[in-house]
Amino acid sequence: MANHKSAIRRIRANNRKRDANRYYAKTMRNALKKARAISVKEEAVVAYPPLASLIDKLAKKRIIHKNKAANLKSGLMLKINKL
């Protein structure tokens, strides 16, 4: 257990940040599942920009790695182009 007041505060702050990061990462994963389930090209093209924006925001905040963000967007574009 933490012995210093500042360490106790850091533990609380880290837990809050962890919960927020997990929420945003889970939101992104759910949005990806929905986007991957789309089978009509026009719908997929419309759904892509907000999802790409969300992925970029998470990469900027370092919730996910920038290379993972690039791979997710690239894979999604490949799927859309195949439709």
Phi, psi dihedrals of residue 39, rounded to the nearest 5°: -115, 0
What is the torsional sign of CA 51, 55, 60, 62? positive
Give the model's confidence band at 32: pLDDT under 50 very low, under 70 low, under 90 confident, else very high.
Answer: very high
Does residue 7 fall inside a structural domain? no
Q: What is the pLDDT of residue 1?
A: 73
Of all residues in the chain, the percent with pLDDT exceeding 90 is: 95
Does residue 16 fall inside a structural domain? no
Does residue 65 fall inside a structural domain? yes
Question: Chain-wide mean pLDDT for the chain?
Answer: 95
CA pair distance 56, 31, nearest whole angstrom: 14
Q: What is the pLDDT of residue 27?
A: 96
Provide the domain limits for residue 72.
24-82
Q: What is the pLDDT of residue 19?
A: 97
Does residue 10 fall inside a structural domain? no
pLDDT 10s digits, 37-66 = 999 999 999 999 999 999 999 999 999 999
DSSP secondary structure, 54-78, as one string: HHHHHHHTTSS-HHHHHHHHHHHHH
Number of structural domains in the chain: 1
Q: With contact defined as beta carbons under 8 Å apart, do 57 and 51 qualify?
A: no
